[in-house]
């Protein structure tokens, strides 16, 4: 909460400047983006696709799990956005600034219009999230108008978006220093004046958004709405020009169809001063570097759809092979406190705790047959000659001895659950290094507020102790130790119970595909650490740095 409070002065000063530094002018940069215009251009707070760079570059930071390519046939514009994990989102846009050459307008023999050479803009964009609720972005553009002696001129834009629960508040400045075009003799040819907008969006669910926007330069108020269900989206919007109150209220409408990441957008505009009416664009979605697709599983029609839990960093081969199906009675969202469900029993080996018996690999050959080459054996032998990480006196080693959990398993669970990020929040609402759900954390003695929206927790360790890495680890190890003892040191069942909840484990692996994959990743990483003290030392050093040791 304190972090949010500290953000508000920054946002307030930024928005205050929007009304004190703008320039009144006659001509402004054309607006491009079929989806946004279908909502009357009320997109400053809700910008979240590749064309966000043209409305509020901060919106590109929302594209954490997908890249988007959009081509606007009606406006001669191409936009591309690409997220890179832990770096930010990069974008590029190539535009035709001739806004009088549009779809089914003035060129019936060429209804798509033309991409007029010499009247274009190239924009490079970058955006990223700062903290949990603040997004910032910027554009650098290069522009030219169709005069033979017109040189290229740079342009600069900036934007900001903050989130308060389900409300997004955004602001943007376009053409910060005005974009002025001169010929080689210094004669002015054209000027795109500065535009300033603020907007707010209420997004109560992924199916609906209600948006508002105020363009201070054009003195226009815009309202827009988007409703979507199963790949079909409908939009509408209204525009009020405060400079011409006597003019009729402008309105817009739009629709989209999204099939397997391919999106077709259409918009109809009915606003004073706009001659072209019909807009159309085509977009494509795909996965970015270091990202996974949105965390839903494609399942057969007779099976339920569930959200994936925390993404895994491990890309090791899937040595653990288990086969099952998800029954229709399973709740779509995985939690760690669900009631027991019935599963078909399969035979699984019982594995003794290697603190007492170091032959886990041999005892567990039914799960993971291993073959080690001579070169690997020589490497492991030299690797083992170094100091044993388990001999150190760090907090994690002490807790492992306290709760009778071996170090390789602890490190494997933390890495796969959170990638060693103490502020990691999953889409199921699990938090911290060991991804504790609110109910489970409270049962383990941690202080956790009663959230209306568990996916939007307060990242203050004094208020939500799951964000305290040391308390999170001890609580998680306490719970994991309990599961190991409950299932008589069977690591497969213990890890399933830790991931999906003990209520789902009935002497068997829960019939949830994502749980199977998750347990397989943990065990694969566990075996790697067990076979390579060097890798285990590296992971322990990373974790110790997080813990401040």
How many Å apart are CA 525 and CA 178, to the nearest integer? 55
> Which of 31, 417, 465, 474 is labelled catalytic?
417
The helix or strand, by DSSP H or E, that contains position 473, with its residue range, turns out to be helix 469-486
How many Å apart are CA 33 and CA 541, to the nearest integer? 48
- What are the backbone angles phi and psi of residue 48, rounded to the nearest 5°? -155, 25
The helix or strand, by DSSP H or E, that contains position 361, with its residue range, turns out to be helix 360-363
How many Å apart are CA 37 and CA 156, to the nearest integer? 22
SS3 (DSSP) at 50: helix
Is 339 a known active-site residue? no
- Name which of 96, 38, 98 is nearest 72 in CA terms: 96
Tokens linked to 255:
């629709």
Handedness of CA 259, 264, 265, 268 (dihedral sign): negative
Tokens linked to 444:
């383990």
- Name which of 140, 162, 127, 124 is nearest 14 in CA terms: 162
Handedness of CA 426, 431, 434, 438 (dihedral sign): negative
Q: CA dihedral defined by 479, 484, 490, 495, rounded to 10 degrees?
A: 10
Contact partners, residue 71, CB within 8 Å, separation at least 6: 77, 78, 79, 281, 282, 283
How many Å apart are CA 27 and CA 240, to the nearest integer? 18
CA triple 318-323-325, angle to 5 deg: 125
Q: Which residues are catalytic?
A: 417
């Amino acid at each position: 909460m304190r972090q949010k409070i500290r953000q508000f002065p920054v946002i307030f000063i930024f928005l205050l400047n929007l009304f004190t530094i703008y320039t009144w002018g006659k001509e402004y940069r054309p607006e491009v983006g079929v989806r946004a215009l279908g909502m009357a251009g009320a997109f400053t707070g809700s910008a979240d696709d590749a064309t966000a760079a043209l409305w509020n570059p901060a919106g590109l930071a929302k594209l954490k799990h997908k890249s988007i390519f959009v081509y606007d046939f009606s406006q001669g514009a191409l936009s591309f956005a690409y997220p890179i994990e832990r770096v930010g989102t990069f974008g590029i846009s190539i535009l035709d600034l001739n806004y009088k050459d549009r779809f089914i307008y003035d060129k019936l023999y060429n209804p798509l219009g033309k991409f007029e050479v010499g009247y274009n803009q190239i924009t490079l964009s970058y955006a990223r999230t700062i903290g949990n609720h603040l997004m910032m972005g910027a554009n650098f553009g290069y522009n030219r108008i169709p005069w033979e002696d017109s040189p290229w001129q740079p342009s600069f834009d900036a934007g900001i978006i903050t989130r308060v629960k389900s409300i997004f508040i955004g602001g943007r400045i376009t053409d910060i220093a005005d974009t002025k075009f001169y010929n080689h003799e210094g004669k002015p040819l054209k000027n795109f004046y500065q535009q300033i907008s603020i907007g707010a969006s209420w997004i109560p669910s992924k199916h609906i958004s209600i948006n508002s926007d105020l363009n201070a330069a054009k003195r226009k108020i815009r309202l827009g709405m988007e409703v979507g269900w199963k790949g079909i989206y409908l939009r509408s919007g209204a525009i009020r020009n405060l400079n011409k109150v006597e003019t009729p209220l402008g309105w817009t409408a739009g629709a989209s169809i999204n099939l397997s990441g391919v999106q077709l957008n259409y918009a109809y505009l009915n606003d004073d001063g706009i001659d072209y009416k019909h807009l159309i664009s085509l977009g494509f979605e795909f996965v970015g570097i270091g990202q996974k697709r949105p965390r839903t599983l494609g399942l057969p029609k007779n099976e339920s759809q569930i959200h994936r839990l925390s993404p895994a960093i491990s890309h090791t081969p899937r040595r653990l092979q288990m086969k099952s199906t998800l029954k229709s009675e399973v709740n779509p969202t995985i939690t760690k406190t669900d009631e027991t469900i019935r599963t078909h029993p399969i035979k699984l080996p019982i594995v003794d705790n290697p603190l007492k018996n170091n032959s886990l690999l041999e005892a567990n050959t039914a799960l993971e047959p291993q073959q080690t080459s001579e070169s690997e054996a020589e490497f492991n032998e030299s690797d083992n000659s170094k100091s044993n990480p388990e001999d150190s006196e760090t907090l994690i080693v002490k807790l492992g001895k306290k709760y009778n959990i071996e170090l390789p398993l602890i490190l494997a669970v933390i890495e796969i659950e959170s990638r060693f990020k103490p502020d990691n929040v999953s889409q199921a609402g699990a938090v911290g290094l060991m991804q504790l759900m609110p109910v489970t954390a409270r049962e383990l003695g941690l202080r956790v507020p009663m959230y209306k929206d568990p996916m939007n927790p307060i990242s203050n360790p004094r208020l939500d102790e799951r964000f305290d890495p040391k308390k999170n680890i001890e609580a998680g190890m306490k719970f994991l130790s309990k599961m190991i003892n409950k299932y008589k040191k069977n690591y497969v069942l213990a890890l399933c119970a830790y991931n999906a909840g003990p209520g789902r484990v009935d002497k068997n692996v829960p019939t949830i595909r994502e749980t199977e994959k998750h347990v397989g990743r943990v065990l694969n990483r566990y075996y790697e650490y067990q076979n390579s003290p060097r890798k285990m030392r590296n992971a322990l050093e990373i974790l110790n740095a997080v813990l401040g040791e």
